[in-house]
Chain A
Amino acid sequence: MISIETHNLTVSYNRRPVLWNIDFELPTGKIIGIIGPNGSGKTTLLKAIMGLVPTSSGYVKIFNQDLEDVRSRVSYVPQRESVDWDFPASVMDIVLMGRYKKNNLFKRITKADRDIAAEALEKVNMLEFSNRQISQLSGGQQQRVFIARSLAQGADLYIMDEPFVGVDAATEEAILNLLHDMKNQGKTVVVVHHDLQTAKDFFDWIVLLNTRMVAAGPKEEIFNKKLLQEAYGGKLNVLSQVGDLMKEKAFNVREK
Chain B
Amino acid sequence: MNSTFQFLSFSDPNVLFVVLGTMLLGASAAIVGCFSFLRKRALVGDAIAHSILPGVCLAFMVSGSKNPLYLIIGAFITGWLSLLLIDGITRTTKLKSDTAIGIILSVFFGVGILLLTSIQHSGNASQAGLDKFLFGKAASLTKDDVYVFGTIAAILILVVILFYKEFKLISFNPDYAKVIGLPVRFLEFMLATITVLAVAVGIQAVGVVLMAALLITPASGARFWTDKLGVMILIATFFGAISGFLGSYISYVAPAMPTGPWIVMCLSLLTVGSIWFAPKTGMLARFRVQQDNQRKILIENVLKLFYHLGEKDGGFKKQRSIKVLLATRDLRMKELKRGLLLLKKENWLRKKGDHWVITESGLNEAKRVIKLHRLWEMYLNQRLKLEPDHVHNDAEAIEHIITPELERQLEKELNYPTKDPHQSTIPYVE
Contacts and interface: CB of A to CB of B under 8 A. Distances in A.
B286 A21 contact: no
A38 interface: no
B400 interface: yes
Contacts of B403: 245
A252 interface: yes
B286 A251 contact: no
Contacts of B379: 238-239
Bin chain A's interface residue count.
20 to 34
B402 interface: yes
Contact of A86 (B94, B387, B393, B406): B94
A242 B380 contact: no
A246 B394 contact: no
Main SS at interface, chain B = helix
Contact of A255 (B289, B297, B390, B409): B297
A108 B128 CA distance: 59
24 contacts: A21-B380, A21-B384, A21-B386, A23-B386, A57-B394, A212-B384, A213-B384, A237-B413, A238-B406, A238-B413, A239-B379, A239-B384, A242-B406, A245-B406, A246-B401, A249-B289, A250-B286, A250-B289, A250-B290, A251-B401, A253-B394, A254-B396, A255-B297, A255-B397
Contacts of B397: 251-255
Interface in B369-420: 379-380, 383-387, 390, 393-394, 396-398, 400-403, 406, 409-410, 413
A241 interface: yes
Interface of A: 7-8, 10, 20-21, 23, 57, 86, 135, 212-213, 215, 236-239, 241-242, 245-246, 249-255
Contacts of B9: none
Nearest to B413: A238
Contact of A254 (B94, B393, B402): B393
Contacts of B390: 7-8, 21, 23
Interface of B: 94, 286, 289-290, 293, 297, 379-380, 383-387, 390, 393-394, 396-398, 400-403, 406, 409-410, 413
A241 B94 contact: no
A250 B410 contact: no
B369 to A, nearest CB: 13
A182 B20 CA distance: 75
Nearest to B383: A236
A57 B401 contact: no
A8 B397 CA distance: 14
